[in-house]
Amino acid sequence: MPLSRQGDERTSRPPLLEIVVPAFNEEGRLPRGLMQLCAKLARMPFPTAVIVVDNNSTDRTAEVVKTWPPGPVPVRLVQCAISGKGAAVRAGLLGTTAPFAGFCDADMATDLSAVDTALRLLLSGEPVVIGSRAHEDSVVENRHSRVRELGAYGFRALAGVLVPGVSDTQCGFKFFDGVLVREAAAALRTPGFAFDVELLARCAGQGSRVREIPVRWRDMPGSRFSPARHTFGIVLELGRIWLRLRVQPRTAVRPAWEPPLDPVGTPLDPVGYP
């Protein structure tokens, strides 16, 4: 089938999976990242969509998205007035409607082959599937400074109290049952880099298992994260999450997953899906 017709058909049907990409001053890394993501998603046998969430970037991030050429994977822009990666991911997730939703970073530090594993697990009924650099089968190319490594160690120890059993809360590659994550995102209050911890704690608090999967992960140049500028704020965020989860009752969520519709006419076999 010609690509344009394939595009028409796919984009006219609701997506099965939507991926949120938070992006702040990413004119340098976003075009390549979006190209990789769209190429990967275009090979999936069902409709998908991408939502880029910008926080009033001072560079051409928004223009990159606005001028993105139409194709089989629609890319749309959401503007988030509240700054921070957490606020941006929350806004993006709340803008999704698909049965499955997730997010990844603009630098595509996590190899996108993990999307296949994540989808297969979601289709088999896992509600939360996250990339984990601590998984024994992960391949991690890390170029973080010693200071950042030390900070990450401390962060893991504190985060472990809030989401016991999850060994890497911070990999920017997480996929969820759509209903579950929209409920968790609606309650999410952490605007900064520690938001993953609150999001996972909320999903786990609703009785959902968190499944960690191996990833190929490469630290990409151009990180927005600065240990000097962000460490204090992150520790504060973790403290606030702890307080929030202690005082807020955790509600039970209804069974989140139902066999997905068949959006492209190909039977979606939850077990046999490649």
Half-sphere exposure of 185 (CA within 13 A, CB side): 26
The item of ligand GDP, Mg ion, none sharing an interface with residue 226, based on CB under 5 to 8 Å by kind, is: none
Site string for Mg ion, 46-85 (x = CB under 5 A): ----------------------------------------
The helix/strand/coil state of 214 is: strand
Check if the beta carbon of residue 53 is closer than 8 Å to that of residue 23. Answer: yes
Q: Shortest Cβ contact with Mg ion: which residue?
A: 107
| DSSP class per residue in 87-106 | HHHHHHHHT--SSEEEEE-T
Nearer to Mg ion, 71 or 233 (CB): 233
Q: Which residues bind ligand GDP (CB under 6 A)?
A: 22-24, 26, 53-55, 83-85, 88, 105-107, 109, 172, 223-225
Q: Which parts of 13-113 fold into alpha helices (H)?
A: 30-42, 61-66, 85-94
Q: How far is the CB of 29 from ligand GDP (least distance, A)?
A: 7
Check if the beta carbon of residue 180 is closer than 8 Å to that of residue 122. Answer: no
Q: Is 34 in the site for Mg ion (CB under 5 A)?
A: no
Q: How far is the CB of 257 from ligand GDP (least distance, A)?
A: 27
Site string for Mg ion, 207-236 (x = CB under 5 A): ----------------x-------------
Q: How far is the CB of 57 from ligand GDP (least distance, A)?
A: 8
Check if the beta carbon of residue 198 is closer than 8 Å to that of residue 246. Answer: no
Nearer to ligand GDP, 225 or 242 (CB): 225
Half-sphere exposure of 256 (CA within 13 A, CB side): 28
Cross-strand pairs, 174: 103, 130
Two structure tokens written together for 185: 């995102």
Q: How far is the CB of 8 from Mg ion (least distance, A)?
A: 34
Nearer to ligand GDP, 67 or 145 (CB): 145
* Number of residues counted as binding Mg ion (CB under 5 A): 4
Distance (Å, whole) CA 60 – CA 65: 9
Buried b (16+ CB within 10 A) or exposed e, 190-211: bbebbbbbbbbbbbbbbebebb
Q: How far is the CB of 28 from ligand GDP (least distance, A)?
A: 10
The item of Mg ion, ligand GDP, none sharing an interface with residue 180, based on CB under 5 to 8 Å by kind, is: none
Nearer to ligand GDP, 84 or 127 (CB): 84
Q: Is 26 in the site for Mg ion (CB under 5 A)?
A: no
Nearer to ligand GDP, 46 or 155 (CB): 155
Which range binds Mg ion by CB under 5 A, 12-20, 81-89, 105-113, 187-195?
105-113
Residue 25 backbone phi and psi in degrees, to 5: 50, 55
Q: How far is CA 21 from CA 111, 191, 254, in A?
A: 15, 15, 27
Two structure tokens written together for 10: 């796919």
Q: Which residues bind Mg ion (CB under 5 A)?
A: 105, 107, 109, 223
